[in-house]
Amino acid sequence: MSGITADSFISDSTDFCSKLKNITDPDQIISYDVVDLFTNIPIDDTLQVLLRRITETPLETSLSTESIIAHTTACISSTYFEQQALTTSPIQPICCPTNRIEISVYRKPTHTDQYIHFNSNHPLRTKAGIKSTLTKQAINLSTADPKPEIEHVRQVFIDLNNYPPNLVDKVIASVLHPTPRPATLKPESAPFRIALPFIGKASNIISRLLKQQANIDTHITSSNSLNTLLRANGSNTTKPQEPKGVVYKIDCNCGQSYVGETFRPINTRMKEHKTSTIKSNSTSAISDHISNCPNHNINWDNSLVHDCVSNKGGMCYALLNLVDFPKAFDSV
């Protein structure tokens, strides 16, 4: 999207909090979000589609077509209005008595403090990584003393997730008091690298032996979860499969019809037809028909599908000629 880029940029929550911590005398802190705008859409094509749609189906508004197009162009061509709104808005933030912005970790009322249980079949470094991340979050996202938040994390892992207290304390200490690592050259990677499923200590032993004896690097992959192995009884929640290998017909309000066949899911082929029609390219006979007759309307919702299970080039093409459809587009 073309336009003026804002001067500020926030990479993540830690970056956002670090910027807030440096504000000692807050004046105006406002965030305006623009949603449902696709940044990669072709602007000129979008305006043409909008103009055509307004012309075909007038909107219930006192604005003229030119005004609607002008306002739409301004909205999708610039992001500068966010900065203008920031400088003119009368809204003021709520600040604490110390004239600084206080920041702390927030949890939704539905938060359960349930993380990977210690007895679950996951590598130990994965479990340690979660505790390390939450400890760093307590430090980086709090302007006050982080000790209460760190203690909360400690109790959550010990009481609710069955982690050994000595392991939790060790990980927290490694974050609070990191040991400086000597600067060493990164070892060269092994010529081979394979994936091992995690099956407990055996995976670590095999990984170490492969590195020592055969100079093969390994990485641990997760095994099948219960969610992939178990299926609930009761109503069938499996989505019905989309028809494949079909002959289909799409009607136009002029009385002509497009007849085609596809061995892919029919919904996928329909989306391709619609996209081609919107972009007015020549990859679909329907698109060519609408380009030549812009006032016509395609009846997408009432397209007909005839099952045709066959190998490509065989019965499907025979059915295409045998089914008694109305007159087809000239380009088909």
Residues 200 and 139 in one domain: no
Close Cβ partners of 237 (under 8 Å, ≥ 6 residues apart): none
Q: Is residue 111 part of a domain?
A: no
Range of the domain at 288: 246-322
Cα end-to-end span (Å), the chain: 37
Q: Is residue 95 part of a domain?
A: no
What's the pLDDT tens digit per position in 269-287? 888 888 888 888 777 888 8
Report the domain count for the chain: 4
Residues 199 and 140 in one domain: no
Better-predicted residue by pLDDT, 236 or 302: 302
Residue in this structure with the two tokens 């939704």, named with its chain if needed? 108
What's the pLDDT tens digit per position in 2-28? 444 455 667 777 887 877 777 776 666
Q: Is residue 61 part of a domain?
A: yes
Residues 167 and 206 in one domain: no
Average pLDDT over residues 26-35: 60
Residues 164 and 135 in one domain: yes
CA-nearest of 36, 130, 37, 133 to 77 is 37
Question: Confidence class of residue 264 from pLDDT cuts 50, 70 and 90?
Answer: confident
Residues 258 and 285 in one domain: yes
Show which of 143, 176, 209 is a domain's final residue: 176
Residues 255 and 313 in one domain: yes
Q: Is residue 228 part of a domain?
A: no
CB of 245 within 8 A of CB of 308? yes
Residues 278 and 314 in one domain: yes
Q: Is residue 259 part of a domain?
A: yes
Q: Is residue 107 part of a domain?
A: no
Q: Is residue 157 part of a domain?
A: yes
CATH value at residue 291: 3.40.1440
Residues 156 and 202 in one domain: no
Q: Is residue 49 part of a domain?
A: yes
CA-nearest of 29, 7, 11 to 20 is 29
What's the pLDDT tens digit per position in 153-192? 999 999 999 999 999 999 999 999 988 877 666 677 777 7
% of the chain residues with pLDDT over 90: 14
What's the pLDDT tens digit per position in 37-63? 455 667 788 888 888 888 888 777 777
